[in-house]
Structure 1
Amino acid sequence: MNPRVTAVAWGLAVTAAQVALPLSLRSRLPDPLATHWGMGGRADRSTSFPAYVAMEVLFWVVPWLVTLAVCERARTRRLGRMTWWGTLFGMGVFALGMNVTTVLANLDVPGWAEARLPVWQVFTVTAALIGAAALTGYLGRGEPDEPGPAGQVPPLLRLRAGQRTVWVGHVANRWLNLLTIAALAAAGVLSLLWLAGPVPGVQAASAVPGLVLVAAVGALTTSLSVQVGDDRIAVRFGPLGWPVWRIPLSRIQSAWSETLRPSQVGGWGFRGLPGSATIMLRGGECLVVGYRSGGRLAISVDDAERGASLINALIAERVQS
């Protein structure tokens, strides 16, 4: 099964369904249609029929084209393949579910304000998204990843008897940093406008906590440092170096440097599960440690080859002692 051919066929089928469904029932739908729902599934916002059809098509076509664009890169590793297949079919099922539930809610109502969206339909669409993504990701996982080639293992550093050496590597994503700063600034501006009066308290209360949360999460996840020394590796998150993830050298078989891209590992941030994961803040050079248990951890960090050399030297020193 050719992934690109499958993706094109699936994408065209979903696009056709997104257009055909509302067009085939247009005579039974109000214009405008209810497209947003408040408490209790009551309609509180509407959109004209042509705009609705265009919106439903774009809601699907944009992620579909993105998955097509990253097809080759995303499928070079097992996690990337699982994410790629899961995104392709999960988003398609979600887009179709959104369209079907919206059309059903508007079907045969005298006006958009009378449309109702049952809560159980929302949960059904969400469950379908998760189920389709999980199933297709599992079926498309392919063969396990090949271990790093021997040529990628850096030479051991030569440590003199009693010599203690420490390596520290850093990485930061400036675009994510800018997003964090923008979220914090927006929260501050909204708070000031609320205190001054132009912005109602309800609007500020609904927006500021979310912006502060984005800024707080961003502060902890847009930069990190990796320290190698003595008997452990310490991964420190954020500008304050907290929280800290410590990995004993006794758990590590070897380390090496490898070039990885977000599309290969399933995206940005912490990807995978403990025991076989990637911390991806930027594409490029990554420090990869192979666990004795068979798993691995990849961390995007500068000067990764030097850090891997020291890890291997410290492991060899432990074996000799």
Structure 2
Amino acid sequence: MTDEGPRTNGRQGKGRRENARRGNGPQRGAVWGAAAWSAGVLGLLIALPWAARSRLPDRLATHWSGRNPDGAMSLTAAALFPAATWLVLVLATAAAFRFRPARSRGATGVTLATGGVLLTGAQTSIVHANLDRTRWQDAAPMGVEVVLIIAAAGLAGLLTWLATRPHQASPAGARPATGAPVPAAAPGEQLVWLSRAVNPWLQLAAAVLGLGAVGGVLAPASGLIALNWSLIVPFASTSVLVLACSSVQARVTDRGLSVGFGPFGWPSRRWSPADLESARAETRTPAQAGGWGYRINGLGTTVMLRRGVCLVVRTRRGGEFAVSVDDAERGAALLDSLISRAASPTG
């Protein structure tokens, strides 16, 4: 929950404890995703040179002065040195997140994304430059590859920052304390409710599928195999779809309800108060919804990321939309007050 509201007297400690519990889901999902990414990058750094060992010289060119190679390592060192560098980076970011979570939460994801792309890109280019050469001195020169690797690493860091940046507080206005009943939204008053939910298992599945797509790109880039789009496209597209269904953010403002999917909150669905007939909180299970993720069945549309209470709205067209997020009761109460105001003659 991002909607914390004012804290006073004895409710201060309670509010913090409730917010901490509600943050466990997204934090757990982030940890799972970081673990899968870390393990996948480590595997790629070691596997790429060893998979091509029969086509590589005894020593591999690993450093270039300008476009010409001027340093080399054995195959074992060329595989383990970047892997050890990656492990040090992962352990350092894990320690920072463990002991200073508030300060390092955003930087952790950016560091892992940037470092992982940078190291795997460099390892791929090294294998490609040494492939089918008899001596490391004959390795292909480095040029545009370096620029592309740095650009890709920067893009990965930027996208990760956009996906993990803290959600900004809503426009100034009255915001009820966490767990408190929602007062009726009077004309001219801005009441805002915001809640998120994450399914760490879906995030893990998306990370694994994404790593499969990355491996399908890096292996051809290193020269090991031919580019096979029939392998890359299914992994990449399925990863994106699963990632979009692995997290959700629901927001209620005076403009109505908006539900954003995935780490970027896009795509999204929106309803104005005039589009809705009612809102309620209702307990639903994955069995009732037809499974996990974005489901459509006799109950209508359900975004099922965790079992329990869901925010359910009925549109004036007769359909229902449900989303499993924390504090659904308060979101439904606020939305109902906005629907009543929109339906009143003076609303």
**TM-score per shorter chain, which class?**
0.3 to 0.5
TM-score (norm 2): 0.44
